[in-house]
Structure 1
Amino acid sequence: MALLIEKLAQYWSYPFVRYALVVGVLVALCSSLLGVTLVLKRFSFIGDGLSHVAFGAMSVASVLNLTNDMPLVMGITVLCAILLLGTGRNARINGDAAMAMFSVGALAVGYLIMNVFSTSANLTGDVCTTLFGSTSILTLTKTKVWMCVALSVVVVLLYIFFYHKIFAVTFDESFASATGIRAKEYNLILAVVTAVVIVMAMNLVGSLLISALVIFPAMAAMRLFKSFRTVTIFAAVFSVFCATAGILTSILAGTPVGATIVTADILLFALCTLVGWLRRR
């Protein structure tokens, strides 16, 4: 144990380790806050769909040789999120069908663009890194960290400020509209915030693993608690814990960061499911 603590203390002296922990904790926190609402609204698959859209946007940015692809990726992802979540029940295509179309279409087109136009000597490595997250936490720059901090503060403040409205829209959108709450506008806010979190998370866990950060902490908390507030709080606690444990494990064991974090989420979900089952017995 002393050797392990000494090794962690040694790694902590490197800036890239601190960057990874900061980004991981903030992304996990924002994902878990949105995850509870998205799961209850049966939009849990939107994380996967929007992550594929972001992958397609990143493919276009890489072909255009953009030094900062964040504005393009963020803009396209936000637009698709508005189309998926903001239109609500008035859309001519059902939500799950629209998500599947965006998801598969963006993934296929993005990969096609990278194959046809990319000049990278390691195309397979670039695609794998984008889909499954950075194999090394050295890829997180100070600029990305500060951008993540700023966006995370905005997301958390919006969630806290509009908490009661989000609660009403989550459980009964029609009743919320009848009581004077502008449900469409809050769905729009939810869509934009979700897109922002998805783009932030891609730098850490990759596009294929983002939905795990949204779903698993919320589902784990729901196995133990019933009230919306309690589930939200413990989903955030579980998500931050798994992100921290996953990053530290990946540093010590040399495993991919994204996959390690998701594995920690899965193990925690299994544990909460077991505890919930024992409590019911």
Structure 2
Amino acid sequence: MLQYAFMQDALFVSICIAILCPCIGVFLVLRRYSMIGDTLSHASLAGITIGLACGGSPVIGAFLFTSICGALIEFLRTYFKKYTDLILTIVLSLSVGVAITIISSGKLHTNADAFLFGSILTVDQFDKLTVLFLTILSILAVIFLYHEMLYIAYDEEAAQVAGVRVKVINYVFSILVASAISVSIRVVGVLVLSSMIALPVATALQLKKGFRATLLFSILFSMVDILLGLFLSYQLNVAPGGFTALVSVAVLIVVMVLRKIAAQVRQNITA
């Protein structure tokens, strides 16, 4: 099936997603912000509809609008410090309201359903270049801000006392999340996009390794999840996004079971 150009394009984008999403997801999970990824993935739908309505790229539209929503979440944290769930509700309401208003207006000249469920047929050359650019930009930002982001992930207040520019880095991180989401919408789809951000990290955490090892295993599990989801969904003729989410959950369960078995075996040996 790799003789088809659209499958080659989908494979290229999938590899970018598999590398990028865990790099962002591991920081979200450590900060207990995994639901922010879900909120912004739904916010990307509004960006998609704006991009399509303006006759532009839905990927760029998703990136710009999701970046704005990410910055808005960070801004609202100043006013709702103890109510993170309320902030997410506000942003989610704004995003869904914009998306439904534009879709129901009849101004879209194309169907947005492909972006909800993911479609390997929608990836074109411009999307590949956009995805490559955003992926490289995000990975470079993670590399250069690695220590600061790690410090903030474990203790934001201590990082601020230590002189880390927490506010600035949080806004940059919001843009990184937006980048990961906009990169992924083509293949994975809006509805299950957050699974690619959180589930590989959740699987890697079962191994109980250090941070670097957890990050590397997250990328490994992400590769397994999305490539299996892509190839099997093609064979079964189903949407790759939903099937990739199922694969991610299955891999998580398998790792949990194997870890339980290994612990039981070690206990029997030492007994």
> Normalized against structure 1, the TM-score is what?
0.87
Measured after TM superposition, the shift of residue 207 of structure 1 is 1.0
Query: Structure 2: how far apart are the matches of 1:247 and 1:97?
Result: 35
Q: 2:114 aligns with which of 100, 104, 129?
A: 129
Residues 77, 195 of structure 1: 8 Å contact kept: yes
Query: Structure 2: how far apart are the matches of 1:12 and 1:202?
Result: 21
Could you give the per-residue CA deviations for residues 13-61 of structure 1, whole angstroms, max 9, x where no partner exists? 2221111111011112111111111011111011221122121122233
Residues 77, 87 of structure 2: 8 Å contact kept: no
Partner SS state of residue 205, structure 1: coil
Could you give the per-residue CA deviations for residues 36-95 of structure 1, whole angstroms, max 9, x where no partner exists? 11011111011221122121122233333x1334443322211110121x3384233622
- In structure 2, the residue matched to 1:46 is 36
- In structure 1, the residue matched to 2:269 is none
Query: Structure 1: how far apart are the matches of 2:174 and 2:64?
Result: 12
Is the alpha carbon distance of 1:88 and 1:173 closer, same or farther for their aligned partners in structure 2, counting shifts above 3 Å? farther
Is the alpha carbon distance of 1:247 and 1:279 closer, same or farther for their aligned partners in structure 2, counting shifts above 3 Å? same
Q: 2:2 aligns with which of 3, 6, 12?
A: 12
Partner SS state of residue 77, structure 1: helix
Measured after TM superposition, the shift of residue 271 of structure 1 is 0.9
Q: 2:63 aligns with which of 74, 80, 89?
A: 74
Query: Structure 2: how far apart are the matches of 1:152 and 1:61?
Result: 20
- In structure 1, the residue matched to 2:46 is 56
Query: Structure 1: how far apart are the matches of 2:59 and 2:240?
Result: 21
- What amino acid is the match of 1:132? F
Q: 1:267 aligns with which of 243, 247, 250?
A: 250
Q: 1:141 aligns with which of 124, 130, 136?
A: 124
Measured after TM superposition, the shift of residue 222 of structure 1 is 0.6
Partner SS state of residue 185, structure 2: helix
Query: Matches of residues 235-246 of structure 1 in structure 2 within 5 Å?
Result: 235-246=218-229
Partner SS state of residue 96, structure 1: helix
Q: 2:148 aligns with which of 165, 183, 206?
A: 165
- In structure 2, the residue matched to 1:249 is 232
Residues 48, 103 of structure 1: 8 Å contact kept: no
- In structure 2, the residue matched to 1:87 is 75
Instruction: Provide the aligned C-alpha RMSD in A.
Output: 1.9
Residues 49, 108 of structure 2: 8 Å contact kept: no
- In structure 2, the residue matched to 1:6 is none
- In structure 2, the residue matched to 1:104 is 93
Measured after TM superposition, the shift of residue 119 of structure 1 is 5.5
Query: Is 1:179 matched up with 2:179?
Result: no
Query: Structure 2: how far apart are the matches of 1:184 and 1:43?
Result: 16
- What amino acid is the match of 1:87? F
Is the alpha carbon distance of 1:105 and 1:119 closer, same or farther for their aligned partners in structure 2, counting shifts above 3 Å? closer
Measured after TM superposition, the shift of residue 129 of structure 1 is 1.9
Partner SS state of residue 118, structure 1: coil
Partner SS state of residue 189, structure 1: helix
Residues 88, 184 of structure 1: 8 Å contact kept: no
Query: Structure 1: how far apart are the matches of 2:7 and 2:59?
Result: 22
Measured after TM superposition, the shift of residue 245 of structure 1 is 1.2
- In structure 2, the residue matched to 1:234 is 217
Identity %: 24
Residues 44, 182 of structure 2: 8 Å contact kept: yes
- What amino acid is the match of 2:127? K
Residues 118, 188 of structure 2: 8 Å contact kept: yes
> Normalized against structure 2, the TM-score is what?
0.90
Partner SS state of residue 212, structure 2: helix
- In structure 2, the residue matched to 1:25 is 15
Query: Structure 2: how far apart are the matches of 1:39 and 1:206?
Result: 21
